[in-house]
Amino acid sequence: MEEATLAGGCFWCTEGVFQRLKGVVEVVSGYSGGSIENPTYEQVCSGSTGHAEAIQIKFDPKIIPFEKIIEIFFHLHDPTTLNRQGNDVGTQYRSAIFYHNDEQKRTAEEVRLRIEQEKVYQNPIITEIVPFEAFYKAEANHQNFYKNNPDYRYCRVIIDPKIEKLLREYKNEVNES
């Protein structure tokens, strides 16, 4: 198994998407990229910790390679907005790839370059590609949020369209169940 740590806005959104992929065995919501150990949600939301809402994925690279995870990541959030995803604004909602080794760094940079060359987005990609330092698991009420709260308005309005896009564009990578 390998790990990937990604920040693409609200962790409820990224968690709900990546939990559906074949080869992903675990997705944990949490915080990464900041300077405070074991931050709380309230501390991260204050913008004072430097942490981003992030997910940590455990995956089988024989089933889904890191390259495909990064491709899906870039296509299922807006990597061109600084510290913002939709109405979620603040440094905790920034776009970041926290690479765990040189191979992940190289792959993330190659995928970013390919997507920029394909002109998928009108504006330049500003996603940080930075070394992984630490990941702190979020509080229990943030884990499996979409699975546990599918009728919550935020889930229906924000997460459902991302999952619909995943199912439409990456149906071969999605679990049937």
Domain boundaries, the chain: 2-173
Give 117-160 pLDDT, tens digit per residue. 999 999 999 999 999 999 999 999 999 999 999 999 988 998 99
DSSP for 141-164 reads GGTTHHHH-TTSHHIIIIIHHHHH
Q: Is 10 a catalytic residue?
A: yes
Q: What is the percentage of the chain residues whose pLDDT exceeds 70?
A: 99
Average pLDDT, whole number, for the chain? 95
Of the residues 10, 13, 45, 155, only one is catalytic, namely 10
Confidence of residue 86 (pLDDT cuts 50, 70, 90): confident
- For domain 2-173, the CATH architecture is 2-Layer Sandwich (3.30)
Question: How far is the C-alpha of 121 from the C-alpha of 74, rounded, in Å?
Answer: 10
DSSP percent split of the chain into helix, strand, coil, nearest 5: 40, 25, 35
* pTM over cut 0.85: yes
Name the band, by pLDDT with cuts 50, 70 and 90, for residue 109: very high
In the predicted model, is pLDDT for residue 102 greater than 90?
yes
Mean pLDDT is lowest, of 34-38, 67-71, 82-86, 129-133, for 82-86
Q: Is 42 exposed, middle or buried (0-12, 13-18, 19+ CB in 10 A)?
A: exposed
pLDDT of 72? 96
Say what the pLDDT of residue 177 is: 58
Residue identified by tokens 């896009």 is 165
Mean pLDDT of all residues in 6-23 = 95
Query: For position 42, what pLDDT does the model report?
Result: 96
